[in-house]
Amino acid sequence: MGWGRCGAEPRAAPGAATAPAAEGRAGSPAADKGAARRDDSASEGGGMSAADPSPAAGAAPNSDQGRAAVASAYQRFEPRAYLRNNYAPPRGDLSSPDGVGPWKLRCLAQTFATGEVSGHSLIDIGSGPTIYQLLSACSHFEDITMTDFLEVNRQELGLWLREEPGAFDWSGYSQHVCLIEGKGESWREKERQLRARVKRVLHVDVHQPQPLGAGSLAPLPADALVSAFCLEAVSPDLPSFQRALDHITTLLRPGGHLLLIGALEESWYLAGEARLVVVPVCKEEVMEALVRSGYEVRDLRTYVMPACLQTGVDDVKGVFFAWAQKKVGM
């Protein structure tokens, strides 16, 4: 399923340069459990810089002020509302193979099944409050780092990692992944393995040249990166999206792999009281950004959001999945 060419000129997400009316997507520190150390290096959560006050209307959307507005908006992000909107029915209904959930899980499972995306360390960039994106990854990497800009998201991840009461129930996703992988693994064993291999949950800011900060606890460079619904959701414009991709690419070894999932042609979404702006991107712009950041694009798929899943919580038109390999020498 393809998409028409987006406009050649970079477009700012609506409202990105003005004082935010609402908010965005992000996480919190997970406590130590057994041998797995899960650290948190900052008090704010998601994938972008939190600069000061919102800029005045009319400020250039690709300025520091534009990114500050996005960061400020995300401070009202509600993880549970975001999870209800996107990972509970109808979008969280995994019974239909044509649903968006099964499509994302299938893309990930099929890519990891090639055996090419493997190694010692993997970093999940902008994890948000979700873990599904790592269910197929956890059998291929021994050391997994989860990250988010928002403390509330890192806290939400900590509940699940520590198996605390009230944690979001991902068992349906775990069961579905075990089914499509077809290895005879139980969903409880799948979740046990993922919890054991997530060694830390860290603060990340994709708008900084060193997204994990100096002296990061994550093993660098990583063998692979995963990032789902992060870069476009925290960038006020297309140049900021490109720079954020450049920044996270510095965390990846030459020859390493990036699995990138994101929204197509989305300009806003809701997370409780927060209404967050998103830079709209199309398939061709994602492809161009990956090439500019020094990747060979191995696979790029798109999914058109059906009318039954357009529930009023966003204006997303579809989803993309990209498998890209960082070129040697980059």
Top-tier CATH class for 63-326: alpha beta
Segment (H or E) for 21: none
Residue 192, token pair as written in the block: 């046990």
pLDDT at 137: 98
In this prediction, residue 278 carries a pLDDT of 95
What string of pLDDT tens digits covers the 330 residues of the chain?
333 334 333 343 333 333 322 223 443 323 333 333 344 433 333 565 543 333 333 334 445 777 788 888 898 999 999 999 999 999 999 999 999 999 999 999 999 999 999 999 999 999 999 999 999 999 999 999 999 999 999 999 999 999 999 999 999 999 999 999 999 999 999 999 999 999 999 999 999 999 999 988 999 999 999 999 999 999 999 999 999 999 999 999 999 999 999 999 999 999 999 999 999 999 999 999 999 999 999 999 999 999 999 999 999 999 999 999 999 976
- The reported pLDDT for the residue numbered 2 is 34
Residue 7 DSSP code: P
Delimit the domains of the chain by residue range: 63-326
Strand intervals (E) in the chain: 121-125, 143-148, 198-203, 222-228, 252-264, 268-271, 274-277, 295-304, 318-326
CA dihedral (296, 2, 136, 191) positive or negative: positive
